[in-house]
Amino acid sequence: MSSRVSPGRSGPRQAAALLATIVCGCVLVACDSGGDGSGSASVTPRPTPPAASDFTGSPPSAVASAASSIIGSAKSRASSAAASVSARASEFAASVSADTVRAAATAQKELKDVKGSGNATADVGMTGLPTAETGGLRAVVVTITNNTDAKASYAVQVDFKNPDGKVVETRYIGKEDLAPGQRAQPIVVSRQPPQPQLTPVLAKAQRY
């Protein structure tokens, strides 16, 4: 028996093979249409992002502008906060009247020759004010109460001590002509910086 395939049956197979060849050829040409015209098919490799360490020079203007804006805004806020604190401190210091300044001078004079702690420490108390209310200044409310049955004047000395117990500042305050049972609350303001922390101590109180 012959193994050859008869011409009648090989015709469709040859036609199918020819059609497949034509289609593949079209696909290859379409894929290579953007190449160099050599006619050979090529595959474009996937791009690899550059390493960040290879970048040189200045950042893009948009990034630099944004960074500059952020820094400028932060500086502006810090400056505004500092100005606000300074303004509050100035307002608080200005609230200490000329009468208080004069009373301080009188109290210092009256206490000049007083030995020990004086005769009126029991009539005087002190309370510190929160720095949030004083613009960052250290201030103490000195409460003076005339516990006698006659009109009296008072002179008070407040010492500010550092953590080592050393007196770094002395302030004076007073009140004149308090009636029996009357109370006064003048304020003593420290001129020292916020740090280191200082402790106010009642050093002298004299009734005269």
Which pLDDT does position 163 carry in this prediction?
94
Mean pLDDT of 49-55: 52
Residues with Cβ within 8 Å of residue 1, at least 6 apart in sequence: none
Between these two residues, 67 and 125, which has the higher pLDDT value?
A: 125
Tokens linked to 104: 């301080």
Mean pLDDT of 179-191: 94
Residue 99 above 90 pLDDT? no
Residue 94 DSSP class: H
Residue 5 above 80 pLDDT? no
Tens digit of each residue's pLDDT (9 = 90 or more) over 68-83: 566 666 655 655 555 5
Could you give the C-alpha distances from 38 to 29, 34, 146, in angstroms and in order?
10, 11, 112
Residue 29 above 60 pLDDT? no
Between these two residues, 158 and 23, which has the higher pLDDT value?
A: 158
Which pLDDT does position 6 carry in this prediction?
46
What is the C-alpha to C-alpha distance for residues 138 and 128, in angstroms, rounded to an integer? 8
Query: Does the pTM exceed 0.85?
Result: no
Which pLDDT does position 149 carry in this prediction?
97
* Amino acid letter, residue 65: S
Mean pLDDT of 80-104: 66
Between these two residues, 9 and 123, which has the higher pLDDT value?
A: 123
From the number of C-beta atoms within 10 Å of its C-beta (0-12, 13-18, 19+), residue 10 rates as: exposed
Q: Taking Cα atoms as reference points, which of 146, 157, 138, 129 lies closest to residue 184?
A: 146
Which pLDDT does position 33 carry in this prediction?
46
